[in-house]
A = this chain, B = another copy of it.
Amino acid sequence: MPVIDSPAKIDDSNGSLGVLMPGLGAVSTTFIAGTLAIRNGFSSPIGSITQMGSLRLGKRNENREVNIKDFVPLTKLDNLVFGGWDIFDDNCYEAAINAGVIEKELLEQIKPELSLIKPMKAVFDKKFVKKLDGTHIKSVKGHRARIDALRQDIRDFKEKNKLDRAVMIWCGSTEIYQEPHDSVYGSLESFENALDDDNIAMAPSILYAYAALKEGIPYANGAPNLSVDFPAMYSLAAKEKTPIAGKDFKTGQTLMKTILAPGFKARKLGIDGWFSTNILGNRDGEVLDDPESFKTKEVSKLGVLEQILEPEKYPELYGDLYHKVRINYYPPRGDNKEGWDNIDIKGWLGYPMQIKVDFLCRDSILAAPIVLDLALFLDLAKRSGMHGIQEWLSFYFKSPMCKPDLYPVHDLFAQKAKLENTLRHLMGETLITYLGLDYYEDD
């Protein structure tokens, strides 16, 4: 029988929490507007584990089911304060209208609050996002100057809003693909040298992450960008005792993959091919029309099956898997993405079967509650003394970060067990193994 751990020491969840987002576009405005609507009682936080989730404690026949928000000490929605940066100067009401995700009628009801949220000027570098041209950009040059400007923004924001704590969640665009070469990114020293001498271009998402950690605020990376996912940042997070998490919010087609693939694998059904195509018509679709940005996304999307299926372990089942992912810019669909998958599986004696999945999806609707959960859980982690990579939040990411000597866990259900058992562990409850043989011992 598993040992019952003693609960962790966790700081108080009272006080207000700032949620700072680079990128005030479709995802972040859907998150902000939605949270405002929810705390005004107009709507419901569907899709959020922190707000809607519950947890079984103890044995199955003890009937101890608790709401997660009652079980672990989380910041209340009423105590959240929203801010961020963008390359356009639309306020959040205007940006939400442009995004076209939430219907106008609902936005009108929270227009006053939403209009007050205005973006700070962004750090931007067109080299990393070729399809966009921003107009609301910081004028300072040089890595260090830009980082300092961001840190000052953070401090001003906290002071102005009398915040007790803050977190930063990257909600900006996908940047071009980058390899994290060891000579620069391999240690905190080499990385900080590179910041100092300005010879190497640095993706904005890296500068934001660095600024956050230096201010001691947790950072999560919602895009497949490098950002905080290299050894120098791991060291910095350890040094600053600050949690980090990433990368690439798990929504839409990849969410479906991490649900389906573990299912086929659990049943040891082989897979010969998996063809995925997407049509989408929003700004994301436009950015991903650039092959370099698409490559970053593709690496993130393709990796999922490889990691879940472990073809090296099951060569007969997955050794010949042909996996292809396509993203098509298709304006008629607007923000409502559609993903079509064809999966060629094989069973007993190699007989082929086919599965087609058509997902009429809404990306920002799937992403918004992830932003909320990450903000609250990262804040919980910080208050609990946890720092560095928060692997228990893998549940929310397409490409979960983990220690270099481990392999990432992609299976949504293993990720869920990891998240739930981490919460049980924090509160000193028995971990759940699903063994349950003892129920039958007296038979």
Selected from B268, B347, B355, B439, the residue in CB contact (under 8 A) with A362 is B347
Q: A272 and B332: CB pair below 8 A?
A: yes
Q: Give the size of the chain A interface in residues (CB under 8 angstroms).
A: 110
Decide yes or no whether A185 CB sits under 8 A from chain B.
Answer: no
Chain B residues closer than 8 Å to A409, beta-carbon distance = 434
Q: B436 and A433: CB pair below 8 A?
A: no
Report how far A391 CA is from B434 CA in the complex, Å.
11
Main secondary structure of the interface of A (DSSP, over half): mixed
Stretch at the interface among A49-57, A87-95, A215-223: A49-57
Q: A2 and B349: CB pair below 8 A?
A: no
Known: A333-B273, A369-B348. A434 touches B417 (CB 8 A): yes
A199-221 vs B, CB cutoff 8 Å, 1 = contact: the mask equals: 00000000000000000000000
Decide yes or no whether A443 CB sits under 8 A from chain B.
Answer: yes
Min distance, Cβ A51 to any Cβ of chain B, angstroms: 8
Selected from B30, B258, B348, B406, the residue in CB contact (under 8 A) with A30 is B348
Q: A37 and B434: CB pair below 8 A?
A: no
Chain B residues closer than 8 Å to A317, beta-carbon distance = 46, 52
Give residues 21-68 of A contacting B (CB, 8 Å).
Answer: 30, 34, 37-38, 43-49, 52-54, 60-61, 65
Q: A279 and B275: CB pair below 8 A?
A: yes
Report how far A360 CA is from B336 CA in the complex, Å.
15
Chain B residues closer than 8 Å to A351, beta-carbon distance = 101, 362, 365
Q: B355 and A359: CB pair below 8 A?
A: yes
Q: B348 and A34: CB pair below 8 A?
A: yes
Q: B61 and A268: CB pair below 8 A?
A: no
Tallying the copies of this chain within the complex gives 4
Known: A268-B52, A431-B2. A362 touches B356 (CB 8 A): no
Stretch at the interface among A128-136, A164-172, A186-194, A418-426: A418-426
Decide yes or no whether A126 CB sits under 8 A from chain B.
Answer: no
Decide yes or no whether A9 CB sits under 8 A from chain B.
Answer: no
Q: B418 and A434: CB pair below 8 A?
A: yes
Min distance, Cβ A344 to any Cβ of chain B, angstroms: 5
Min distance, Cβ A161 to any Cβ of chain B, angstroms: 24
Q: A388 and B275: CB pair below 8 A?
A: no
Q: Which of A52, A234, A415 has the most CB of B within 10 A?
A: A52
Q: Which of A269, A270, A316, A436 has the most CB of B within 10 A?
A: A436
Selected from B43, B277, B365, the residue in CB contact (under 8 A) with A353 is B365
A residues lining the B interface (CB < 8 Å): 1-3, 30, 34, 37-38, 43-49, 52-54, 60-61, 65, 101-102, 106, 234, 238, 255-256, 258-260, 262-263, 266-270, 272-273, 275, 277, 279, 313-314, 316-317, 322, 324, 326, 328, 330-333, 338, 340, 342, 344, 346-351, 353-362, 365-366, 368-369, 387-389, 391-392, 395, 403, 405-407, 409, 411-418, 421-422, 425, 431-437, 439-440, 443
Chain B residues closer than 8 Å to A268, beta-carbon distance = 46-49, 52-53, 369
20 A-B pairs besides A44-B350, A277-B328, A417-B433 with CB distance below 8 A are A2-B431, A37-B349, A38-B349, A43-B350, A44-B349, A46-B346, A46-B350, A52-B316, A266-B412, A275-B279, A347-B365, A347-B369, A351-B362, A353-B362, A389-B443, A403-B439, A411-B413, A418-B436, A421-B434, A422-B437
Q: B349 and A270: CB pair below 8 A?
A: no
Report how far A311 CA is from B61 CA in the complex, Å.
18
Chain B residues closer than 8 Å to A331, beta-carbon distance = 273, 322
Report how far A368 CA is from B353 CA in the complex, Å.
15
Closest B residue by C-beta to A268:
B52
Selected from B342, B346, B405, the residue in CB contact (under 8 A) with A61 is B405
CB pairs A–B below 8 angstroms (23 shown): A3-B3, A46-B348, A46-B350, A259-B262, A260-B263, A263-B412, A263-B413, A266-B395, A272-B332, A324-B328, A326-B326, A338-B342, A340-B356, A347-B366, A348-B366, A353-B360, A355-B358, A356-B360, A388-B440, A391-B440, A403-B440, A406-B439, A414-B434
